[in-house]
Amino acid sequence: MTLICDCGSTKAEWAVFNDGNVAKQFITNGFNPNFTDGETIKSIISEVKNIVDNQDVNKIFFYGSGCGSEANKIKVSMLFAMVLGVNDIEVYPDTLGACRALFGNSPGIACILGTGSNACVYDGGKITETVASLGFMIGDEGSGCHIGKRIVHDYFLGLMPENMRKKFDEKYHLDRETFLKRVYQGEQPSRFLADFTKFAAENIDNQYVKTIVGDCFEQFISSSIPYGSGRSDVAFVGSIAFIFQDILLKHLANHNIKCSKILKNPMDGLIEYYKSL
């Protein structure tokens, strides 16, 4: 059997293939080898082992955030081999998973807007250009983490409208000391910051929220889609792109960029990709 995974910093989606058909699908916590320690990754893989149970997995295709470097590819491969005992493992960056999910074997510009963000040019077989990923502290424009940072920034600095501030207080009861501790000393701060996008989603009709989300998307467009609207097909994948797609499409149109597709989950497209092989 073959195990396929699309792994982001927040969650990982898995599919078990048997004779070209999906035998099982499930979700676990995600990880990024740049920020997640080996023991945590091993515990997630152990959970996968328990879910898969006695099914004979002999091949793994893994698409993950933070898996663009050779060092991280080797790290993830070794952890899978240790826990699952599988040696036939192919580890790819999440950008290639997005490309295959969105375009299959056709060319296009794939954009990821989830907990983090990225974009790349795909020629139908391989990635030919990619935007340098600087992580959640410096980059990840337009991502859930970026939007979350903007919201909590405005809350603590008194820039959030009073009616929204009251809603925020009722939902989070967040004090500055606790917030700073979670961000600078807690585990997976990018996931913690991205969680504040739930507040944006719940108040999407509010003009303040529309402005915040729109500003973040503008920064993504200007920094991560420098290729020109007429050059190739542009499509998006990720929960942030999907949830806030009306705002995203509006800002793309302002730059004369046409979006052909928005997928919430790359796994849906990856399943179709592997069925077609």
Say if residues 149 and 117 touch (Cβ distance below 8 Å). no
How much is the average pLDDT of 27-34?
A: 92
* Predicted confidence (pLDDT) at residue 222 exceeds the cutoff of 50: yes
* Predicted confidence (pLDDT) at residue 168 exceeds the cutoff of 90: yes
What DSSP element (H or E) covers 267?
A: helix 266-276
pTM: 0.85
How much is the average pLDDT of 215-235?
A: 79
Query: From residue 86, how far is each of 14, 144, 260 by CA, in Å?
Result: 16, 33, 37
| Alpha helix ranges (H) inside 62-112 | 70-84, 94-103
Q: Which residue in 45, 44, 60, 66 sits closest to 112, CA to CA?
A: 66
pLDDT of 61-103, one tens digit each?
A: 999 988 989 999 999 999 999 999 888 999 999 899 999 999 9
Contacts of 277 (CB under 8 A, 6+ apart): none
State whether the Cα torsion 82-83-88-90 is positive or negative. Answer: negative
* Predicted confidence (pLDDT) at residue 134 exceeds the cutoff of 90: no
pLDDT of 264-275, one tens digit each?
A: 989 989 999 988
Identity (one letter) of the amino acid at 98? Answer: A
Contacts of 71 (CB under 8 A, 6+ apart): none
Residue 223: its pLDDT value, please? 84
Residue 276: its pLDDT value, please? 80
Confidence band, pLDDT 50/70/90 cuts, at residue 163: very high
pLDDT of 137-153, one tens digit each?
A: 776 899 999 999 999 99
| CA 53 to mean position of chain CA atoms | 27
* Predicted confidence (pLDDT) at residue 230 exceeds the cutoff of 60: no
Q: How far apart are CA 46 and CA 68, in angstroms?
A: 23
